[in-house]
Every structure is written in structure tokens, then in C-alpha cells.
């Protein structure tokens, strides 16, 4: 089946070498976390796979902030998927996604764009939507607005995997717990890599509690919202929103 990458108007080449090097550095760090299964990517891919296997009709699949689509071979194998659409702002990540999905027995479209803008201003219908470790970058109201836009165009269900506050925990306590628990556990990261991760989490992560993630889904229009998995460290929750 064919794979098409739809580039933004800025062009198909990465002209800024510094930006490319920064991506490669960040991606190497992220890949270390995935390779050590430090953020339970294997378990979440298996749970997504089981949910998709339960669908008895051919379905379209939307991967929001898809990155390199590294989880998708495991998650989509043996399902009735007919069309995969991935959205990501990183051109290098989409190039990797195209390689990872090469030879897939379903059509693939990869969109180079900001997923918030695309889903709110240029929505397209899908059966299933998925987003991993990206919605938490938005404010609470921003999360609600985006979930509403996704609900309006999703026929079956949405699953998200996101950082989760413990009940009664504020963001500062979450950050303290994140550093206390993960710095000793992630000794495979260099000091530079840990600093990079800590800077990202401190400046970009705005987690919600389990109750808040579920409430946001219901407020967006989903009929059911529930947490179906919490990783062993208690930092990341998998949520399912049914139409």
C-alpha cells in the first residue's frame, strides 16, 4: 500500500541544521527511555492492540503527534485497519515514520503540521484516535477544547496515554516526585540527557489527575471515560474515551 507525506508550505527539506541536530539529540534520549521500557510503551501498545483487535469492521486510525510511529507495528498488526493517518510537527520524525510503516498492508498518510491547529481548524473524520504523551503540553482548557474537536470527528473511541497527578498532588509535588523517583532509576541517561528530560518536564508537562482526565473527556462529549492502565511508577495513565 502507498505512503504519502504531506509537508507544510515551508517545504520538504530541513534547512536548519541546528534544528535537525537538536531533534536527533532529543530523539536519542527519548529512544533510550523507550528501549528500556521506562515509560511502559510496550504495555500501552499491547493494550491499544487488544482494543483494536476487538473492532470487527475495517477502521480508519488517527495517530496524533505520531512521532516515528514506533509503536504502531505492534499495535496495528493483525487488526482490520484500512487507513492510517499520522500527524506530527517534526519532518525528521515523519521520515522515520514512513520507514517504520513501509510495507504496511494499509494506506498511510503522514501530515506535517501542528496537531492542535489541524484537528481544530481542518478536522477529518476517523474511527479511532490515539495520542501518546502530547496532550499534557496544553492547558486544562486547551485539553478540553482539543478533546471536544476529537470527539466531534471520532466514531468509535479515543485512547490517550498521559502523565497523571496523584490524587491531592499539585504540579510542584509531581515534579519533585518525578525527580526523586526517576533520576535514580534512569541511570542509563547521561547527565546531559537527564538535564534535557528534566528541563522538558519542568517547562512543558502539565498533568491532570485521573478524575480530571476523565472529566475532561466527558465534558468534551464522550459518553464514557475511564482509566484503563496506570504504569508501575504511577506517573502515566492510559485513558479510553468511548463515543
Report yes or no on 14 lying in a domain. no
Report yes or no on 75 lying in a domain. yes
Please state the φ and ψ torsions of residue 66, each to the nearest 5 degrees.
-70, -20
Report yes or no on 224 lying in a domain. yes
Confidence (pLDDT) at 224: 96
Report yes or no on 170 lying in a domain. no
Confidence (pLDDT) at 26: 79
Calculate the average pLDDT of the chain: 91
Asked if the model's pLDDT at residue 82 lies above 70, the reply is yes
Query: Cα separation of 74 and 59, whole Å?
Result: 17
- Mean local confidence (pLDDT), 158-174: 96
Angle of CA points 228, 115, 80, to nearest 5°? 55
Report yes or no on 18 lying in a domain. no
CATH number reported for the structural domain that contains residue 120 in this entry: 3.40.50.150
Global pTM value: 0.92
Number of domains comprising the chain: 1
Report yes or no on 175 lying in a domain. no
Confidence (pLDDT) at 9: 62
Asked if the model's pLDDT at residue 237 lies above 90, the reply is yes
Asked if the model's pLDDT at residue 80 lies above 60, the reply is yes
Confidence (pLDDT) at 158: 98
pLDDT digits (tens, 9 = 90+) for 90-101: 888 899 999 999
Asked if the model's pLDDT at residue 207 lies above 50, the reply is yes
Report yes or no on 178 lying in a domain. no
Confidence (pLDDT) at 11: 45
Query: Cα separation of 243 and 238, whole Å?
Result: 17
**Owning domain of residue 61:** 3-8+39-164+207-242
pLDDT digits (tens, 9 = 90+) for 23-45: 667 788 988 999 999 999 999 99
- Mean local confidence (pLDDT), 113-132: 94
Confidence (pLDDT) at 1: 64
Report yes or no on 56 lying in a domain. yes
pLDDT digits (tens, 9 = 90+) for 138-160: 999 999 999 999 999 999 999 99
Amino acid at each position: 500500500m502507498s505512503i504519502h507525506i504531506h509537508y507544510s508550505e515551508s517545504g520538504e527539506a530541513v534547512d536548519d541544521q541546528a534544528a535537525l541536530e537538536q531533534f536527533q539529540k532529543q530523539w536519542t534520549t527519548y529512544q533510550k527511555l523507550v528501549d528500556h521500557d521506562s515509560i511502559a510503551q510496550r504495555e500501552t501498545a499491547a493494550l491499544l492492540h487488544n482494543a483494536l483487535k476487538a473492532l470487527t469492521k475495517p477502521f480508519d486510525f488517527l495517530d496524533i503527534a505520531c512521532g516515528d510511529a514506533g509503536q504502531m507495528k505492534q499495535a496495528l498488526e493483525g487488526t482490520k485497519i484500512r487507513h492510517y493517518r499520522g500527524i506530527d510537527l517534526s519532518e525528521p520524525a515523519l521520515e522515520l515514520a514512513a520507514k517504520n510503516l513501509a510495507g504496511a498492508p494499509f494506506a498511510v498518510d503522514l501530515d506535517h503540521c501542528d496537531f492542535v491547529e489541524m484537528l481544530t481548524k481542518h478536522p477529518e473524520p476517523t474511527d479511532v484516535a490515539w495520542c501518546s504523551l502530547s496532550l499534557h503540553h496544553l492547558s486544562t482548557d486547551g485539553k478540553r477544547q482539543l478533546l471536544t474537536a476529537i470527539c466531534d470527528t471520532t466514531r468509535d473511541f479515543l485512547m490517550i496515554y498521559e502523565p497523571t497527578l496523584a490524587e491531592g498532588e499539585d504540579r510542584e509535588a509531581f515534579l519533585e516526585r518525578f525527580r526523586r523517583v526517576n533520576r535514580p532509576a534512569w541511570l542509563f541517561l547521561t547527565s546531559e540527557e537527564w538535564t534535557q528530560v528534566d528541563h522538558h518536564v519542568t517547562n512543558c508537562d502539565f498533568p491532570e489527575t485521573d478524575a480530571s482526565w476523565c472529566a475532561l473527556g466527558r465534558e468534551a462529549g464522550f459518553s464514557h471515560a475511564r482509566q484503563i492502565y496506570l504504569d508501575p511508577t504511577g506517573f502515566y495513565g492510559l485513558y479510553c474515551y468511548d463515543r
